[in-house]
Structure 1
Amino acid sequence: MTEAPPRTPIAADRRRWARYLAEERSEAQVYRDLAERREGEEREILLALADAEGRHADHWIALLGGEPARLPAPSLRSRMLGVLARRFGSIFVLALAQSAETRSPYDTEPFATPRMAADEKIHSEVVRGLAARGRRRLSGTFRAAVFGANDGLVSNLALVLGIGATGVASQFVLFSGIAGLLAGALSMGAGEYVSVRSQRELLDATEPNSYGDEILPDLDLDANELALVYRTRGIPSDEAQARARRVLEGARAAQAGQAPSASAAAHPAPAHRDHDVVGSALGAAASSFLFFASGAIIPVLPWIFGMSGAPAIIVALVLVGAALMLTGATVGLLSGTSPLKRGLRQLAIGYGAAAVTYLLGLLFGVSMG
């Protein structure tokens, strides 16, 4: 129900209500578009958010005295969200929507009800939860992509700028850049392979053993070590003893041909294997190699196309700066923070490392000259 206006509205209020109405309808449509690409619980949540935005729209329609003859266009952010939701329905849309819900104007809007302001805060947390699901699903791959590409960008930019500052021939700078690309990519791939392989081997060592049916009947029914197995899995002592007794009684009955084997009950298969989360060692190695190489090739491009000296360095800086801004903005979008701030942070880190090696290269060039 729409509450009574706190004061007599003026023309500026009515224009603001019309903007709110346009925004609410745009946001509701974004959630509906996202829901079309989801199923199950996520779809239901998104449709519920769309219904809530519809209720807010009804509030402004009531204050306006009915449907306006013409509504203002939604904000650029809302229109962009709509395009992304219709075309992609990706985690980026939810991250942007989370940021938009956080900046709701209803806290200071005298004609918005307290319930509407509270709704917007809850919507922010709901969208945050949905976005978090997507972030968890892509966290491993995304981490490898961003870290690998950034490592390649920064390390090879620092390398070619440091070598180039010494005044050597452009062919030597190109060779150094290609060598740095291959060395770094191979190192990243090998390191990722060893890391994932070692983690899988550690997980193998922690998998519960599967005991054969033949050993269970030989355990003491009243004092058996099977209960200790259950206790190591976090089961309380009394419950572990009771479960062990049931398993052994079942095993003895099975041995006597009176009941099915209890081995499966004694050692149930885990609901999921951590190996699936860790992934393949070869796949991780290949991904790290390619991600690093894709970043490391960018600083070398000017020399590949025949440039040299200061023009090549300037072009390399521009290309790498654009790539660093892009990866930083992507991290910002997915984390629900400012893409510009994250992009500038990545840029400062990359340029800072390159500046150090460039100054060292100048010093070496002067000393050698």
Structure 2
Amino acid sequence: MSTATPDSPSAAAPYEPSREQVRRWRRYLADEIAEGQIYRDIAARKDGVEREILLGLAEAERRHEDHWRSLLGPHAENPPRPSSHRILLRALARLFGSVFVLALAQRAESDTPYAKDADATAGMVADERIHEEVVRGLASRGREQLAGSFRAAVFGMNDGLVSNLALVMGIGATGVAPSVVLFTGIAGLLAGALSMAAGEYVSVRSQRELLEASSPTQVTLEAAQFLDLDANELELVYLARGMQPEDAKHRALERIGYLSCDCNPQFSARPDGSQGPVDHSESFAEIGSAWGASLSSFLFFASGALIPILPYLFGATGWVALAVAAALVGMALMFTGGVVGLLSGSSPLWRGLRQLAIGFGAAAVTYVLGLLFGANVG
């Protein structure tokens, strides 16, 4: 990767830098130092290829650091503290080194100001764009592992928050006794949690069964030795898997022993003709476990649905109870939305506000309906 050196024209300042330039370059220097340390801290918790990739990113950040040092000259001494975002990233990297930190690092790389700064080299701009893709690839491994149960957990909690807040607001608006609102909320918690758990189990289990039914088996290996050379139906198997006619014929002849083949019974031909061990558990990793998804849905829906009824559990009534319930749910919605935003590499604040608007919108509708129902009954 091309980076400027102190002797290159792009690195040497043709004039004494302004105070604003010095301030900006020192901020860049501090952030590059922090980012390099973040990658080293995460690498310390990894091994193998992932460790080498992270150390490679840290080395690239060091080259960027050298660029700003060369421009700053004596002004590079005692750089300021990095941005608060990078301080948070560094602390999280030392504590966890997890997919959450990589997702935050991905977003930090995508927000680089170098593309609009003439003092950064074209090579540095290209480096930062590549870094985002590298970190995206590293983070995607953790996202795949979290995709099944995490999806059920986050959306289970969000459903519990929204549905029970809407239920409590609607019933509370009718003017019934606080005890009725409380017991209605508890009933909504249990009914919703059980429904979510059952639905998630059936959904994940059904999806896995459908994929398993479509996955290749070892039948071709067991039956190959008894097939007729002149009526080789094994070709149809590979044609059905998506192979081209010539490839299917060649593979079929290998399977029945007509052509030499380094085949192992534990290996199976894939649709593209390649070979590899069949490991359905790895193939279905993104779907997750049916029991894990079910349990996550139950627990997180229940924990979300508990929040709107907490004021009533502690004896609050009327407007106070409804206001406290809405405030608590609002904070929880901002949290769940922010977590999803972090993992997806998008803005946590925007995702949190979106969750908040959806939840409060549903609660407002049921509250208005409760007021109308209560007025009609009265």
- Length-normalised TM-score, structure 1: 0.90
Residue ranges of structure 1 left out of the alignment (5+ in a row): 252-259
Q: CA deviation at 1:263?
A: 6.0
Q: CA deviation at 1:28?
A: 0.7
Q: Tell me, what secondary structure is at the counterpart of 2:251?
A: helix
The answer on 1:161 being equivalent to 2:169 is: yes
Structure-2 residue corresponding to 1:35 = 43
Listed one character per residue, the Cα deviations across residues 51-108 of structure 1 (whole Å, up to 9, x for unaligned) are 1111111122222335844221111111111111111112222222222222222233
1:95 aligned residue (103, 109, 112): 103
Distance 2:249 2:267 in 1: 14
Structure-2 residue corresponding to 1:121 = 129
Structure-2 residue corresponding to 1:340 = 349
Distance 2:241 2:80 in 1: 61
- 8 Å contact from structure 1 (residues 247, 266) kept in 2: no
Distance 2:332 2:75 in 1: 46
- 8 Å contact from structure 2 (residues 147, 286) kept in 1: no
Listed one character per residue, the Cα deviations across residues 194-240 of structure 1 (whole Å, up to 9, x for unaligned) are 21232233234324444498854442112211121122222222222
1:323–1:271 CA distance, 2 compared to 1 (3 A): same
Residue ranges of structure 2 left out of the alignment (5+ in a row): 270-275
Q: CA deviation at 1:187?
A: 0.7
The answer on 1:309 being equivalent to 2:333 is: no
Structure-2 residue corresponding to 1:105 = 113
The answer on 1:324 being equivalent to 2:336 is: no
Q: CA deviation at 1:262?
A: 7.9
- 8 Å contact from structure 1 (residues 250, 261) kept in 2: no
Structure-2 residue corresponding to 1:255 = none
Q: Tell me, what secondary structure is at the counterpart of 2:256?
A: helix
Aligned length: 362
Distance 1:82 1:231 in 2: 53
1:100–1:204 CA distance, 2 compared to 1 (3 A): closer
Root-mean-square deviation (Å): 2.6
- 8 Å contact from structure 2 (residues 164, 188) kept in 1: yes
- In the TM superposition, 1:249-328 aligns within 5 A as 249=257, 270-273=278-281, 274=283, 277-328=286-337
Distance 1:214 1:85 in 2: 51
Distance 2:90 2:353 in 1: 27
Listed one character per residue, the Cα deviations across residues 13-41 of structure 1 (whole Å, up to 9, x for unaligned) are 33332222211111110111111112222
Structure-2 residue corresponding to 1:226 = 234
Distance 1:80 1:214 in 2: 57
Distance 2:304 2:163 in 1: 9
- 8 Å contact from structure 1 (residues 211, 263) kept in 2: no
Distance 1:285 1:64 in 2: 57
Q: Tell me, what secondary structure is at the counterpart of 1:249?
A: coil
Distance 1:241 1:164 in 2: 71
2:209 aligned residue (190, 201, 208): 201
The answer on 1:145 being equivalent to 2:141 is: no
1:366 aligned residue (370, 375, 378): 375
Partner AA of 2:66 in structure 1: D
Q: Percent identity?
A: 60
Q: Where does structure 1 differ by over 3 angstroms across 4 or more consecutive aligned residues?
A: 66-69, 207-218, 260-269, 271-280
Structure-1 residue corresponding to 2:273 = none
1:61 aligned residue (69, 77, 91): 69
